[in-house]
Amino acid sequence: MPPEAPPTLRDFFAAWELFADPALAGALAGALLGALGVYVVVRRMVFLSAALAQAAGLGVAGAWFAQIHVGVPAGLATPTVGAGLASALAATLMASGEAGLKGRRDGWLGGVYLVGAAGTLAIGTRIVQEVQDIETILFGSAVAVSPDDLRALAWTVGLLGALHLVGLRGFVQVAVDENGARVRGLPVRLLGLLLMGSLALAVSFGTRILGALPVFAFTVLPPLAALRLAPNVGHAVLWATLIGALAGFAGYVAAFLWKLPVGAAQTLTATVLLAMAWVAGKGLQWQHNRSAHRGGHIHGPGCGHVAIRHGDHVDYLDDGQLQHQGGAGHEVHHLHGHVAAAGYDHGHDHDHEGCPTAPQGHVHGPGCGHPRIAHGDHHDYLVGGRLHHQHGDHCDDHGPVDVVE
């Protein structure tokens, strides 16, 4: 019997009716979690989504346990309700406990994560008939999504998307600079609560439908890719939405083509996209440096470097080097006796112990506080528009230069 031919994309789209709901669910969840994940990554709390996803998993397992062993009606103890309640409880605990954590936010998140994971596994041993579903919760091996789940997910994505589109600038400001946002009078507390609520809702839905692993992946990997490519956090939210959607959809297709667990395939797809973004980001950076800077910095008025008139142009003093901002980037210019300001005859005009104009006993050298400047075959120090040369235990005056204020 000939070996079975591997499935192709044509096969996937031929059976589109069968795969449409889970593939679209992956795309929707990836888009929402990717967008929200930007704030999670910027605020350096990536374990938040992992902890919420594990808590949601515990909620799903708890709902089944309640149905089977406690006798709670199936209409009440649905996995969706369990996931929502558990992640909302975890989010509330984390939000309210944060003030008393004294910088131990990571430990708190780790605790929630561990309780969620251990609780899910422990309850799994008591609901053996649902053990397959426990694996689904933890690793995301779901292959089918009900139309009701997809509809609920679409509504969630729509409502949260609208909220975050309107509030984009506020959410960005609080994520980037919370103290600054507070001083500027933004509703920091409200925005924080809305973000936490959005995450709890998105993570609980995502965990219920896709599993904890891809949910964690979508809130970390697409945002990292987007932050690599985007010029600012607002744009990164848009990029992460697109990358997350792509990872969710393409991951499902990859699972079909290579017969992989869906959650693992979606996570690996997001990882590949992150790697591509990293390379693209390097390329963008190279292009930017090449076209605009060449030296990573544009010299000009107010650039922070001392400006010195050098013949018919102005150069800038950067780390002891006289640099000229030309069209092709920085050119290194050299200061010789003849380019110093008029009236200088390149001699040693005075011969003092220590520096005559700096505070008493001052000795010029690296870190002395005066700008160092290459002058012929040696280095001088710029003090009050004159070149000072430390010569043994005394200071020589190597003449004036035109410092541009």
- Work out whether 300 is an interface residue with other proteins (CB under 8 A): yes
Q: Measured between alpha carbons, how far is 380 from 374 in angstroms, rounded to an integer?
A: 6
Q: Measured between alpha carbons, how far is 310 from 331 in angstroms, rounded to an integer?
A: 13
Q: Which tokens in the block code for residue 181?
A: 């946002």
Strands 394-400 and 402-404: unpaired
The least CB distance from residue 230 to other proteins, in Å, is 6
The least CB distance from residue 286 to other proteins, in Å, is 13
- Work out whether 392 is an interface residue with other proteins (CB under 8 A): no
Binding to other proteins, residues 139-168 (CB under 8 A): 166-168
The dihedral built from the CA positions of residue 362, 367, 372 and 375, taken in this order, carries a sign that is: positive
- Work out whether 193 is an interface residue with other proteins (CB under 8 A): no
Q: Measured between alpha carbons, how far is 164 from 32 in angstroms, rounded to an integer?
A: 10
Q: Measured between alpha carbons, how far is 82 from 120 in angstroms, rounded to an integer?
A: 12
Cβ proximity of 388 and 394 under 8 Å: no
The residue (of 208 and 386) whose beta carbon lies closer to other proteins is 386
The residue (of 233 and 322) whose beta carbon lies closer to other proteins is 233
Q: Measured between alpha carbons, how far is 196 from 174 in angstroms, rounded to an integer?
A: 13
The residue (of 50 and 194) whose beta carbon lies closer to other proteins is 194
User: Total binding residues for other proteins by CB under 8 A?
Assistant: 42
Helix (H), strand (E) at residue 136: helix 131-139
The least CB distance from residue 173 to other proteins, in Å, is 5
x/- map, 24-63, other proteins, by CB under 8 A: ------------------x---------------------
Q: Measured between alpha carbons, how far is 393 from 229 in angstroms, rounded to an integer?
A: 54
Give the orientation angle of helix 168-176 with respect to helix 16-42, to 10 degrees.
50
The least CB distance from residue 354 to other proteins, in Å, is 17
Q: Which stretch binds other proteins (CB under 8 A): 10-18, 59-67, 137-145, 228-236?
A: 228-236
Binding to other proteins, residues 326-385 (CB under 8 A): 369-371, 382
Q: Can you name the residues that pair with 387 across neighbouring β-strands?
A: 382
Q: Measured between alpha carbons, how far is 294 from 353 in angstroms, rounded to an integer?
A: 42
x/- map, 97-136, other proteins, by CB under 8 A: ----------------------------------------
The least CB distance from residue 258 to other proteins, in Å, is 34
Q: Which tokens in the block code for residue 286?
A: 């190279």
Return the number of other C-beta atoms located less than 10 Å from residue 206's C-beta.
33
Q: In a 10 Å sphere around its CB, with 0-12 CB exposed, 13-18 middle and 19+ buried, how is residue 121 labelled?
A: middle
The least CB distance from residue 330 to other proteins, in Å, is 12
Binding to other proteins, residues 164-183 (CB under 8 A): 166-170, 173, 176-177, 179-183
Name the phi and psi angles at 247, rounded to 5: -65, -40
The least CB distance from residue 240 to other proteins, in Å, is 12
The least CB distance from residue 163 to other proteins, in Å, is 8
Near other proteins by CB under 8 A: residue from 298, 332, 363, 404: 298
Which residues bind to other proteins, rule: CB under 8 A? Answer: 42, 166-170, 173, 176-177, 179-187, 227, 230-234, 236, 288, 292-293, 296-298, 300-306, 369-371, 382
